[in-house]
């Protein structure tokens, strides 16, 4: 019964039944019996779902200690323990620990299970999620697709695990800037979840959230807000008030308001998100850096540059400690700090940070990723402001080529790109060329 409540998102009920089961087992079984390990593992799973990660780790480790004593070294249940502990470390942002535990799980499964066993899919998926967290999207896609091939063969078409698999692949395409592919996989995932889950299940909220994220990236802000709000309503009903997914929900709604230019609303939602993350996460968790970064972005947009720099630097300090040196989020930090210096008129400092950002993005991202276009565009703006118009044009055109490939034809960033190129031609006295690009920009806007 605990498992059923857990699968339907009723976590307090699940915990109640798992603890009753544990008490019976504790009274009737020897202390190292595998069934006790199963109880600890199940309780740990609930704490993981409600984001009490230290509690989850405590119970997963209790389960592992029993299994290490009671089971042979290649038993599949040991792999489950290693896998679960790895998942907690991933959520806490400790990627070296994640790799250590997921590798242990995979080695056992390779020895103990047939090659198309669903547990293999879990291992591949978790390693894929790790590579995604570290910004290595091509590696992540490779592992998530291996996982998906197994799940498609092993499970029925409407199984929730298949929905998770589609979701993970969609998430990767979104990170790689391939928004139409992302939407395709997110919608496949959502259709399964709608059929398989109760209407207030947190996984449905995740679906709405992810689809909203794609529309936000594509510049369709009203659609994005619509999906984010659907997600938020479910999270408010289904989750405890300090759950990180609620923080993510507030954060995403704030992001749309920021993109729409409603900065006071954006700040309101970002601060709600940040309060939850401060309570729920470790001091150096990457999601805290995201909070600081987003609040900094609003202050930057509002013209409070010293405040913006303060929050951007807080974000950067966390990312330097928590992430590998070529992680795309570090590039975002450098980019944002560069943006503030640029706005303050310190063009050389701005260029220094933009170039640091660009070097990371060139290594970490596929060649047509929109973030690479942002890098080229920002360097182009600095060169324009410094009066080096040929350099500005060179970088604007590099940005524009990427935007044309990566974005829908009516995306606001494409309009900005046409406008920037037009501005260079205008300043250089080529008025016909300038008019051509201004008109292209105007058609989109």
pTM for this predicted structure: 0.69
Query: Which residue's entry shows tokens 């991202």?
Result: 365
Per-residue pLDDT at 409: 82
| Backbone phi and psi for residue 157, each to the nearest 5 degrees, phi listed first | -65, -25
pLDDT digit string, tens, across residues 262-284: 999 999 999 999 999 998 777 88
pLDDT digit string, tens, across residues 287-323: 899 999 999 999 999 999 999 999 999 999 999 987 7
- Calpha distance 52→20 (Å, rounded): 20
Per-residue pLDDT at 215: 96
pLDDT digit string, tens, across residues 193-252: 999 889 999 899 999 999 999 999 999 999 999 999 999 999 999 888 888 889 999 999
Would you give the distance in Å from CA 414 to the centre of its chain? 24
Per-residue pLDDT at 7: 65
The domain 1-113 is placed in CATH, from the list 3.40.50.300, 2.40.50.100, 3.60.15.10, 1.25.40.10, at 1.25.40.10
Using the 8-state DSSP alphabet, how is residue 245 labeled? H
Structure token digits, residue 347: 């063009």
Per the rule left: phi > 0, alpha: psi between -120 and 50, beta: everything else, 429 is left
Kindly tell me if the per-residue pLDDT of 258 is higher than 80: yes
> What's the pLDDT band for 59 if we cut at 50, 70, 90?
very high
- Calpha distance 47→57 (Å, rounded): 9
- Calpha distance 127→121 (Å, rounded): 10
Instruction: Report angle CA 385, 387, 388 to the nearest 5 degrees.
Output: 110
pLDDT digit string, tens, across residues 152-171: 998 898 888 899 999 999 99
In this structure, the number of other CB atoms found within 10 A of the CB of residue 71 comes to 16
With beta carbons less than 8 A apart as the criterion, state whether 185 and 166 touch. yes
Helix 95-112 / helix 76-92 crossing angle, nearest 10 deg:
160
Kindly tell me if the per-residue pLDDT of 9 is higher than 70: no
Mean pLDDT along residues 406-418: 85
Smallest CA-to-CA distance from 276 within 248, 247, 250, 249 is with: 247
Mean pLDDT along residues 395-413: 88
Smallest CA-to-CA distance from 400 within 366, 440, 431, 360 is with: 440
């Amino acid at each position: 019964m605990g498992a059923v409540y857990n699968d339907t998102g009723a976590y307090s009920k699940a915990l109640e039944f798992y603890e009753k089961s544990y008490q019976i087992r504790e009274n009737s079984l020897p202390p190292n019996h595998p069934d006790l390990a199963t109880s600890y593992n199940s309780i740990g799973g609930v704490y993981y779902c409600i984001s009490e990660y230290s509690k989850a780790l405590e119970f997963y480790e209790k389960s592992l200690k029993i299994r290490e004593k009671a089971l042979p070294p290649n038993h599949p249940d040991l792999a489950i323990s290693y896998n679960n502990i790895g998942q907690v470390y991933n959520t806490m942002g400790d990627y070296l620990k994640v790799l250590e535990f997921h590798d242990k799980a995979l080695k056992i499964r390779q020895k103990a299970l047939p090659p198309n066993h669903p547990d293999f899919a879990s291992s591949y998926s978790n390693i894929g999620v790790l590579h995604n967290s570290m910004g290595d999207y091509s590696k992540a896609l490779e592992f998530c697709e291996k996982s998906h091939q197994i799940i498609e063969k092993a499970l029925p078409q409407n199984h929730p695990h298949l929905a998770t698999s589609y979701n993970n692949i969609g998430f990767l395409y979104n990170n790689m800037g391939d928004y139409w592919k992302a939407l395709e996989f997110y919608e496949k995932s959502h259709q399964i979840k709608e059929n398989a889950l109760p209407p207030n299940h947190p996984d449905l909220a995740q679906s709405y959230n992810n689809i909203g994220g794609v529309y936000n990236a594509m510049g369709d802000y009203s659609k994005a807000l619509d999906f984010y709000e659907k997600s938020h309503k479910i999270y408010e009903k289904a989750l405890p008030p300090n759950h990180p997914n609620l923080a993510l929900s507030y954060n995403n709604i704030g992001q749309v308001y920021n993109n729409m230019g409603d900065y006071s609303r954006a700040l309101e939602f970002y601060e709600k998100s940040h309060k939850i993350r401060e309570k729920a996460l470790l001091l150096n968790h990457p999601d805290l850096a995201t909070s600081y970064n987003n609040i900094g972005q609003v202050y930057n947009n509002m013209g409070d540059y010293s405040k913006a720099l303060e929050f951007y630097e807080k974000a950067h300090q966390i990312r330097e400690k928590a992430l590998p040196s070529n992680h795309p989020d570090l590039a975002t930090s450098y980019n944002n700090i560069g943006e503030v210096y640029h706005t303050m008129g310190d063009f050389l400092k701005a260029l220094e940070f933009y170039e640091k950002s660009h070097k990371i993005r060139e290594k970490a991202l596929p060649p047509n990723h929109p973030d690479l276009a942002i890098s080229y565009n920002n360097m182009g703006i600095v060169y324009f402001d410094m009066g080096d118009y040929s350099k500005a044009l060179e970088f604007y055109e590099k940005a524009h080529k990427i935007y044309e490939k990566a974005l829908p034809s009516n995306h606001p960033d494409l309009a900005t790109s046409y406008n920037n190129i037009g501005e260079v031609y205008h300043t250089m006295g080529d008025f016909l060329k300038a008019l051509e690009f201004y008109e292209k920009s105007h058609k989109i806007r």
